[in-house]
Structure 1
């Protein structure tokens, strides 16, 4: 059981946990930013949802990029 979750030189569990934390914060921030900017610019509901979706997609892209880099670093550790 000592080797559970170990792949190569690192732990996949560590990467998934860190990515979950970063992704949750990034997506929540993106949605809040879309809501706030739409409110400041009086864009209405459609504009609000559009900004939230746009910023959410950017946050999702950043989260995937973070996962890939973190996974590469974990696998390079020996």
Structure 2
């Protein structure tokens, strides 16, 4: 079969290398650890924000601000944790 440009089209299967397979054991390992560690990180951010703001006498808005700051830092930590976990425990492999 020829394309309009006059070239012969290659079958799709010839141009694609082996498909990627999901390694579910690695996915569940990394995500399970992320859930456990994430609960601690966000809990520490929530409690730490409350404690620091009350220690400094910043009032309700100070509490919310510190909680948002520390939980935002916790989110950054968790993203880095999952990215590093994906390097150590790859989620996919060829074939």
Global fold match (TM > 0.5): yes
Deviation readout 1:19-69 (Å, 9 max, x if unpaired)? 111111001001101000111111000010000000000001000100000
Which of 23, 35, 56 is matched with 1:41 structurally? 56
How many residues matched? 70
TM-fit CA distance, 1:72? 1.0
Aligned twin of 1:6: 23
CA distance in 1, matches of 2:58, 2:71: 17
CA distance in 1, matches of 2:54, 2:44: 15
CA distance in 2, matches of 1:36, 1:11: 37
Q: How does 1:1-78 map to 2 (within 5 A)?
A: 6=23, 11-75=26-90
Contact 2:23 2:90 in 1 (8 A): no
Higher helix residue share: 1
TM-score (norm 2): 0.69
4+ long deviations beyond 4 Å: none
TM-score (norm 1): 0.83
Instruction: Please give the secondary structure, in 1, of the residue aligned with 2:63.
Output: helix
